[in-house]
Structure 1
Amino acid sequence: MKRILIIEDEQDIVDIATLILEDEGYEVCSMTDFEGYESKVEKSHADLILLDLNLGAYQGKDICKYIKGQDDLKQTVVVLMSANKDIEMVKIEAGADAFISKPFDLEYFIQVIRSQIA
């Protein structure tokens, strides 16, 4: 079973995404506290990370760069989520694999996840 880690500061989005992904057959864990995110990401053993861009004091872009810069994590798929109009450019700058614009369409959300960890 593929494991997905959701890194998001809005609990409602975590709850909705978790329901959708578990219904699709994925194992889901989440992180809403980002202090010490480095070890939490490593311990999650996620196949895919859904990563919000704006996390209060933390930036998803920086977390993505960290993940993609680690030898033992760089193969992990990172999908950015944001309402930021420049998300496609941020995806490129951060080295993410894909992005989902918020608010997201349910079918598109599932399609992106499936295509990234088929």
Structure 2
Amino acid sequence: MSETEKKKVIIFDDDDDILSICTYILEDHGWQVYTYDNCNDVTGKVANIMPDVILMDNWIPDTGGIEATQALKADANLKSIPVVYFSANSDIQSLAETAGAESYIAKPFDINDLERVINAAVK
């Protein structure tokens, strides 16, 4: 599969271990992965890549996942990109709904759950 045919995912998380693990898993399953450890200029970063799906951490500098997701959903060119909210917060479903995310996955997550949730979000 060529680089242009690969599905693209952006992961926003300030935990290097999470970024490394997710990148390894998703690249192994044919995804082209982009990672950021902050949400500064989130709409600009997403617009430059136009991914098929976004993984958004709740506790990410500087704006936080809710505000960053809401900014994406407020942008006419980006609002249709599915956002999978992910967090260790026990109230993740409520946080994902507040943010406007299409789906969510709780940390720590099972590798199979990660794949399932991401694949379901892009269908």
TM-score computed with the length of structure 1 as normaliser? 0.94
Answering whether residue 71 of structure 2 is matched by residue 66 of structure 1, we say yes
Structure 1 counterpart of 2:40, which letter?
E
Which runs of no fewer than 5 residues in structure 2 stay unpaired?
A: 1-5
CA RMSD of aligned residues (A): 1.1
CA distance in 1, matches of 2:116, 2:41: 31
Matched residue SS, 1:54: coil
The answer for the alignment partner of 2:80 in structure 1 is 75
Residue by residue over 1:67-100, the C-alpha shift from the partner in whole angstroms, topping out at 9 and shown as x without a partner, is 1111000000100110011110111111100001
- Equivalent position to 1:26, from 27, 31, 49: 31
How far apart are residue 58 of structure 1 and its match?
Answer: 2.4
Q: Identity of paired residues, percent?
A: 34
Kindly indicate whether the alpha-carbon contact (under 8 Å) linking 2:38 and 2:60 is maintained by their aligned counterparts in 1.
no
- State the 1:109 CA deviation: 1.0
The SS at the match of 2:56 is strand
Give the match for residue 14 of structure 1: 19
Determine the structure 2 residue equivalent to 1:90.
Answer: 95
**1: CA distance, partners of 2:122 / 2:89:** 24
SS at match of 2:9: strand
How far did 1:32 drift?
Answer: 1.3
Measure how far apart 1:33 and its partner are. 3.5
**Separation in structure 2 between the aligned mates of residue 107 and residue 34 of structure 1, nearest angstrom:** 26
What TM-score comes out, normalization by structure 2 length? 0.90
Paired AA for residue 100 in structure 1: I
- Offset of residue 38 of structure 1: 2.5
Q: Which residue of 2 aligns with 1:45?
A: 50
Could you list the runs of 4 or more consecutive aligned residues of structure 1 that deviate by over 3 angstroms after TM superposition? none
**Does 2:37 match 1:35?**
no
SS of residue matched to 1:100: strand
In structure 1, stretches of 5+ residues that fail to align are none
